[in-house]
Amino acid sequence: MITTVTAMAEPGPRLVIFDFVGTLSDSGGWFLSIIDHLSDPSGFRRVGRHEVEPLRRMPTHEVIRHIGVPRWKLPFIARYVRRLFGRHAHQVQLFDGVPEMLAAIEAAGIPMAIVTSNSETNARAVLGPDNAARIHWWACGASLFGKAPKFRKVLKASGIPPHQALSIGDETRDIDAARATGVRAGAALWGYASPEALVHLDPDIAFAGPQAVVDHLTSAKVDG
C-alpha cells in the first residue's frame, strides 16, 4: 500500500525544485514512441511492449543496463533526444492539474525552479509563456546522473538553504539528487516511473497528484 503524506510538523519549504520530463510534462508516451528509432543508431536493443511495465519499476541505472546502453554514449543520446523533443514539443502536453498547481504555488509566494536533463527552450515551449513566467530559476541540460550539481546551482542562486527546499520528481534519480544535496525529496507518483519504485526509496514525501502538492504546500505555509 502507498501512503501519501499531506502535512508535516516543521515549517514548509521556501523553494520548490521541479523535474520537467514526466513530472510537469506528460512525455512518457512520446518517449516510448521514439525508443525504437533511438535503439538502432545508439547501439542498444529494442524494448518490447511487454517490458514497459517492468522497466517502470526499475531505477534509472538499472534500465540503462537492462537495455544495453553504453554509458559513454549517454551524453550523445541525451543531446539527440533534446533536439528531437524540440521538433515535437507541440505533441507533448502538461499533466492535468499542472498549470493550476504552478499558479497556486506562485500565489502562495513560494518560488520555483526547474532542474531537467531537457533544454530550457523545450521546457518553455511545453509550459507556455504564462507557466514559464512562474519559474524563477532554470538549471537545464543536466546529464542523466548529473542533477545534483544543478540542484546546488539553484540553491546558490536562490540563497535558500537545502533543508528549506523541496524537490519533486518522478524518477529514482530525482530522489538520489535531492539526497545528495540535502534537499527534501518529494516523489511525483503521477509520473512515468512506477509509484512502487519511488516509494521503495522512502522519499520524504509522496504526492498522488498535482493537487496533493498544492494541499501540502498551502497547509505547511499556514502551519508555519
- What is the pLDDT, as a whole number, of residue 19? 95
Cα 67 from Cα 55, distance rounded (Å)? 10
Q: Is residue 123's pLDDT more than 90?
A: yes
Q: What is the pLDDT of residues 174-215, one digit of tens each?
A: 999 999 999 999 999 998 777 887 888 899 999 999 999 999
Q: What is the pLDDT of residues 128-185, one digit of tens each?
A: 999 999 999 999 987 766 899 999 999 999 999 999 999 999 988 899 999 999 999 9
Q: What is the pLDDT of residues 10-69, one digit of tens each?
A: 568 999 999 999 899 987 766 666 566 565 555 555 555 665 555 555 556 566 665 666
The DSSP code for 21 is: B
Beta bridge partners of 138: 114
Q: What is the pLDDT of residues 62-95, one digit of tens each?
A: 666 656 666 666 666 677 777 778 787 788 899 9
| CB 19, CB 115: distance < 8 Å | yes
List, in order, residues 6 or more apart from 178 with CB less than 8 Å away.
151, 167, 169, 184, 185, 186
Distances (CA, A) of 182 to 73, 177, 178: 30, 9, 6
- What is the pLDDT, as a whole number, of residue 75? 60
pTM: 0.79
The CB density around residue 129, as the number of other CB atoms within 10 Å, is 8
Looking up cell 535531492 gives 178
Cα 27 from Cα 140, distance rounded (Å)? 17
